[in-house]
Amino acid sequence: MSTTRPRSPAGVELVSVNGVRLACTDTGGDGPAIVLVHGSWGSHRNWDPVVSGLAEHFRVITYDRRGHSDSEHPPGQGRFSEDAADLAALIEHFGIAPSWVAGNSAGAVITLQLAASRPELVRGIVIHEPPMFGVLDPATPAAVAFAAIADGPLADVGRRIGAGDSAGAAEQFVDEVAFGPGNWVRMPEPTRATMIANAPSFLDELRDPEASVVDAAGLARYRGPVLLTSGDRSPPIYRPVTEWLSELLPQARRLTYEGAGHLPHATHPDRYVSEVVAFVEAAGHESFRVHSPDGIRLAVWVEGHGPPIVLVHGSIQDHTVSADFVRCLSRDFTTYSMDRRGFGASGDGREYTLDREFADVAAVVDAVAARAGGPVVLFGHSFGAGCALGASALTRSIRHLVLYEPGLGLAYPAGWIDEVERVLAEGHDEAAVVMVLRDLLAFDDDAIDDRP
């Protein structure tokens, strides 16, 4: 790969990472960040059809991988490990960890390699048809079929690039390997020009043994959300790799784009945007149920990616009271916000005792620890802090206990509980809430009126 110093086109920022300058774009915004990683022969412009749509929901970052288009072309053999390290460095440079990452084709391989090696940087991944044929058993029909392609058309593509026939190599790759006959002539002229210009980087990929594999053990430890997609018009060689990934990553959701091939973001941009947005929103609102010792179903809501932290809310609230707190925590933790019994989506029992609240929190902690594979941080607020404290005597699955103004042991005014029960019996629920806010929490009238 020859050395080329890049120029910065309009709207493109040159970011120095790992000794190279990479051409990047950043839409900005307050939404969750998503980095888009292009495949072989391409550039950040491959994502243009979906950037504006995604930018309505995300802070979108695109870039030219090293050796491609407006990024620097360092000398020597390029390797995918460098690409994965560059992706990690960009996420850190923009301060967006953990970030959503979407990769197409070779960009999907790089995305998977990052998830395997630096999972703390990744909030979730969207993967389309990675050509990781090196993970397949060589004796399987799929591996044998790819070997025939590698020894035939792909070898011809490499020889053409080495001989300086980049245009012929790009056309053969499109028509005989990646997309199918006749697709080269149907591609827009700027796309063909980009592929021809980036042909030398593809020769590096052909010579790189890291380009078709991933650390399977490391990737299996990745627990974040995964969307695996395919096109029903793509060549069948990609499907066995997607099947292999779905077995390795049991949390993955599968999706097939009808009428699409290897570049759904280019051919079906509206569908691509809607599927990515729906996937991220669903992943951000995952929930599950835990059964308490006395059979009550307790709702637990999951967001973020990182070490596990269980959140226990206070009185006359549910898990949504911590929404802003969760938004901050989810950058560094997987948050598990429970609804206490009788609140939100959790069930309720006929009889109430404080011991049952303690047992509820302990049951949730144990369930989360089992999912996460180790002890958790337990955070409780107000009355929830008292419940967390009580739960700490019932489980060994707590790494750290964080209590904010525990509400146990409050002294109630004489006759106050009887008065609240009378108000509730008369059906005046709002008046009872006002009594709690005014008499126990010392809210004045303005503070009460300001509460949602």
- 148 and 277 in a single domain? The answer is yes
Q: Where a domain ends, among 253, 283, 313?
A: 283
Q: Same structural domain for residues 173 and 301?
A: no
Q: Token digits for 126?
A: 């969207």
Tokens of 452: 């949602």
Provide CB contacts within 8 A for 227, sequence distance 6+. Answer: 124, 125, 126, 127, 252, 253, 255, 275, 276, 279
Q: Indicate the DSSP class of residue 97.
A: -
Claim to verify: residue 113 and residue 249 sit in the same structural domain? yes
Give the amino acid at 393.
A
Residuewise pLDDT in 10s, the chain (452 residues): 334 444 445 579 999 999 999 999 999 988 889 999 999 999 999 999 999 999 999 999 999 999 999 999 998 888 999 999 999 999 999 998 889 999 999 999 999 999 999 988 888 999 999 999 999 999 988 889 889 999 999 999 999 999 999 999 999 999 998 888 999 999 999 999 999 999 999 999 999 988 999 999 999 988 788 999 999 999 888 999 999 999 999 889 999 999 999 999 999 999 999 999 999 987 766 778 899 999 998 989 888 878 999 999 998 788 888 888 988 898 889 999 999 999 888 889 888 999 999 999 999 999 999 989 999 999 999 999 999 999 999 999 999 999 998 876 667 788 888 888 888 888 887 887 787 777 777 777 776 665 55
One domain for residues 244 and 311? no
- Two tokens, residue 362: 């302990």
Q: How distant, in Å, are the alpha carbons of 312, 376, 388, 429 from that of 382? A: 9, 20, 10, 21
Same domain, 169 and 103: yes
Residues 233, 370, single domain; the answer is: no
Query: In the chain, how many domains are there?
Result: 2
Residues 238/129, Cβ–Cβ less than 8 Å = yes
Q: Of 240, 258, 283, which residue sits at a domain end? A: 283
Say if residue 158 is in the same domain as residue 259: yes
Of 283, 314, 339, the residue that ends a domain is 283
Distance of CA 94 to the CA centre of its chain: 17
Q: Hey, how many other C-beta atoms are within 10 angstroms of the C-beta on 431?
A: 12
From 82, 51, 88, 52, select the one nearest 68 (Cα to Cα): 82
Domain that holds residue 312: 288-410
- Answer yes or no: is 439 within a domain: no
Q: Check residue 419 and give left, alpha or beta (phi > 0: left; psi -120 to 50: alpha).
A: alpha
**pLDDT tens per residue across span 348-402:** 988 899 999 999 999 999 999 998 999 999 999 999 999 999 999 999 999 999 9
Q: Do 35 and 148 share a structural domain?
A: yes
Q: Do 363 and 215 belong to one domain?
A: no
**Cα separation, 19 vs 111, whole angstroms:** 20
Rg of the Cα atoms in the chain = 27
Dump pLDDT digits (tens) for 274-313. Answer: 999 999 987 766 778 899 999 998 989 888 878 999 999 9
Q: Is 382 left (phi over 0), alpha (psi -120 to 50) or beta?
A: left
Beta strands in 156-252 (DSSP E): 226-231
- Locate 112 and state its tokens: 């998977």
CB contact at 8 A, 240 and 25: no
Whether residue 100 is found in the same domain as residue 181: yes
Token couple for 28: 């900005």
Give all strands of the β-sheet with 376-381 in edge-to-edge order: 286-291, 297-304, 334-338, 308-312, 376-381, 398-404
Residues 86 and 221 both lie in one domain? yes
279 and 293 part of one domain: no
Predicted model pTM? 0.68
Task: Tell me whether residue 425 is in a domain.
Answer: no
Residue 418: inside a domain, yes or no? no
Q: Is residue 43 part of a domain?
A: yes
* Beta bridge partners of residue 16, listed in sequence order: 21
Domain CATH for 49: 3.40.50.1820
Does residue 342 lie within any of the structural domains?
yes
